[in-house]
A and B are shown apart, each in its own frame.
Chain A
Amino acid sequence: MCNTCGCNVTDGNRHLLTPAPKTPVLGHNPARILNGLLEHNDRQAALNRARLDSHGVLTINLMSSPGSGKTALLEATIRQLDGRLRLAVIEGDLETENDADRIRALGIPAHQITTGTACHLDAHLVQGALDQLDLSRLDVLFIENVGNLVCPASFDLGHHRNVTLLSVTEGDDKPAKYPVMFRAADLMLVTKTDLLPYLTEFSPERAEGCLRKLATRSPVIELSAKTGDGMEDWLGWLSREVETYRLLREARKTLVPRVQSEGRTLHASTGPEIVFKPVGFSSPAV
């Protein structure tokens, strides 16, 4: 995956590459060892979520392959909502401000994160972006993740819902090929459906069938941001989530993406077994 291109180093985990501490880590809990990287991210994600919750900003993480229509979906969403919800967008790309410029052109605040070579956003990158936005004036924040069907699925950003896009030009078996990503989806959007007449090999039913095999009940909506078909269903889902989130906030609760809550219980561990071997048991190591 990503370790071949160096894209795994971000502001969030760079410190892990620095030399080990010179003093013993007293009271260290071995149970947390291999989860350390994600826990570091998860701690920041929890802070981000608390911050968003304090302002009541429903935050949606959009993930997909590059070019599947995330920005076009946001443009169409902004146009159709026409000010009914106060929106902002965090854009994640390796380079350029192009996507943020497209959003700003519609009068919506946008912050562009350029990740350089990193293939995903993490909670620390998003924290920096939140500093640039006036959260007190927002109802919904969209985070357009880096186009990638692998790494973004593993990082909690502090958001409330994952939406995964699958464009009809990509092939209907993507959920079977990238199960970790599509299992993370709280909603799957089949996009660019205006092209379906030219792509008879793509079957939305097969795509949904592949998703169902991942043991998820997440809804599937087919839409075309270009023609507007299906946009009503998407906006309906969005307004229901806004309402659900509002009610949860009133009860002092929050929303977390389905897989994040599930992952926490699965990752729980009682810690490694530690075994001693005498010196010389194997070839000297130091």
Chain B
Amino acid sequence: MHELSLCQNLIDQLTALVRQHGAMAVSRVEVQAGPLSGVEPQLLETAFLLAREGTVADTAELVIESPPSRVECADCGAGCVVPTNDLTCTRCGSTDTTLVSGHELILARVELIGDESLFPS
């Protein structure tokens, strides 16, 4: 999709989070981007390296998790992991399935570097 724009926005939000929590910087960012989210993890990583320069995430590590495409079958009730371009049920072959993961675009976890006195007890 539009990985650089997404990263610029991510940096803006990380900057806000750092200030909100009185932290100094971001050390690690964990993102979920499913294969059907329209976001390419490799491009997101490259874009993040460009976007993070000179920001609170200057040395932050970006970890992208890509949850597999999973469907639930309306015919046999099976839940199965499927290829992104073939969402048919792997147990009974039905195409009457519902996507339950693989479409996510979520910020899952952020590690902030901060003064110990600010740590949540």
Contacts and interface: CB of A to CB of B under 8 A. Distances in A.
Interface of A: 1-3, 8-9, 13, 16-17, 20-21, 23-26, 28, 30, 33-38, 150-151, 153-154, 175-177, 179-180, 183, 210, 212-215, 217, 262-263, 266-267, 269, 272-279, 281-286
Interface string B73-99: 000000000001111100000011111
B2 A17 contact: no
Interface of B: 1-6, 8-17, 19-21, 23-27, 30-31, 36, 38, 40, 43, 46-47, 55-60, 71, 84-88, 95-99, 101, 103-116, 118-120
B118 A276 contact: yes
B101 to A, nearest CB: 7
Contacts of B27: 277, 281-282, 285
A266 B104 contact: yes
Given A2-B2, A274-B17, A285 B9 contact: no
A16 B8 contact: yes
B24 A285 contact: yes
A207 B73 CA distance: 22
A150 B111 CA distance: 33
A34 B25 contact: no
Contact of A279 (B5, B15, B24): B24
Contacts of A212: 88, 95
Contact of A3 (B2, B57, B98): B2
Contacts of A16: 5, 8-9, 12
16 contacts: A2-B2, A3-B43, A33-B17, A33-B107, A37-B5, A37-B9, A214-B86, A266-B99, A266-B104, A267-B103, A272-B106, A273-B109, A274-B17, A274-B110, A276-B23, A276-B113
Given A272-B108, A273-B109, A274-B17, A286 B24 contact: yes
Contacts of B13: 28, 30, 33-34, 36
B103 A278 contact: no
